[in-house]
């Protein structure tokens, strides 16, 4: 019954809007924050870097759809970006950018799980091979493959594949789409979050809120990221199990 109810909600826009506007109560601290932010702000503009398919395990999806956020979903993986475009084919408010954000424009190698494109696998893709290997060593990859019913390659060295992806800078993105102000920047890039935050052109614009995944950052990088954002005028307002929220001081 719950699955059928969820199917109906996600199938019809008016049901989706009604449920998430009037019935749904946020349970996570991240959703409490985002729900309050979205309700008070009109003409909301966002940039989500590492958007994956834009729906599964995406904390922004309900607000993009419910409150008609405008913005950009950035996803470098070609096959995953194809899914992202399909998921947002009827949304005229959102731009899909098939690229990665980096310090320099060009091409770069992305490391990913070789034998599955499921959401759990594609979500592990990273510029940092050691981040993918870490999830293999922890047993997470083997466990998820078993749940999916996928055969593992006999040689563990073959569990990681590479994909050449297009990279642009944050400023390239800003110029391409004539972005003057952003309410929210969110990063979910498996250990590369601080590097991307350092490329935000704060001299050109200061997003009101920056949300980044800290769970793959080393302790030193976490602290350096916090200090960097504070030096740019932000306060850390929430730290949960996976994410950190920084908000521009008034």
Residue 1 has pLDDT above 80, yes or no: no
Mean pLDDT of 180-193: 96
What structural domains does the chain harbor?
29-105+166-248 (3.40.50.150), 107-164 (no CATH)
Residue 51 has pLDDT above 70, yes or no: yes
Residue 82 has pLDDT above 80, yes or no: yes
Mean pLDDT of 17-32: 96
Nearest 10 degrees: Cα torsion 30, 70, 48, 205: -100
Reading the block at residue 191, the tokens are 């250990």
Mean pLDDT of 42-62: 96
For residue range 65-75, list pLDDT tens digits in order. 999 999 999 99
Tell me the DSSP string of 142-165. HHHHHHHTPPPPSSGGGGEEEEEE
Nearest 10 degrees: Cα torsion 117, 242, 93, 15: 90
Backbone φ and ψ for 160, nearest 5 degrees, come out as: -110, 130
Confidence of residue 3 (pLDDT cuts 50, 70, 90): confident
Q: Which of 181, 240, 182 is nearest to 210 (CA)?
A: 182
* 3-state DSSP assignment of residue 233: coil
Residue 5 has pLDDT above 70, yes or no: yes
Confidence of residue 233 (pLDDT cuts 50, 70, 90): very high
**Quick one: pLDDT at residue 4?**
87
Whole-prediction pTM: 0.94
Average pLDDT, the chain: 96
**Quick one: pLDDT at residue 173?**
98
> How far is the C-alpha of 147 from the C-alpha of 179, rounded, in Å?
42
For residue range 98-151, list pLDDT tens digits in order. 999 999 999 999 999 999 999 999 999 999 999 999 999 999 999 999 999 999
């Amino acid at each position: 019954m719950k699955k059928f109810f969820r199917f109906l909600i996600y199938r019809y826009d008016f049901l989706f809007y009604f449920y998430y506007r009037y019935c749904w109560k946020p349970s996570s601290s991240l959703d409490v924050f985002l729900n309050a932010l979205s309700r008070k702000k009109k003409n909301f503009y966002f940039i989500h870097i590492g958007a994956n398919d834009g729906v599964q395990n995406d904390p922004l999806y309900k607000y993009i759809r419910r409150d008609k956020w405008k913005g950009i979903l950035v996803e470098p993986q070609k096959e995953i970006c194809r899914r992202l475009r399909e998921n947002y084919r009827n949304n005229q408010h959102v731009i899909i950018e098939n690229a990665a954000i980096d310090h320099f424009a060009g091409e770069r190698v992305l490391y990913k799980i070789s034998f599955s494109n499921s959401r759990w696998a594609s979500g592990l893709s990273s510029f940092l091979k050691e981040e993918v290997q870490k999830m293999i060593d922890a047993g997470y990859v083997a466990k998820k493959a078993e749940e999916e019913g996928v055969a593992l390659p006999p040689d563990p060295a073959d569990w990681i594949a590479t994909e050449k992806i297009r990279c642009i800078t944050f400023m390239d993105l800003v110029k391409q789409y004539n972005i003057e102000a952003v309410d929210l920047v969110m990063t979910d890039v498996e250990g590369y979050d601080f590097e991307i935050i350092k490329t935000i052109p704060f001299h050109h614009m200061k997003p009101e809120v920056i949300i980044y995944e800290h769970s793959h950052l080393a302790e030193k990088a976490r602290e350096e990221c916090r200090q960097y954002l504070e030096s740019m005028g932000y306060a850390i307002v929430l730290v949960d199990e996976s994410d950190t929220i920084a908000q521009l001081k008034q």
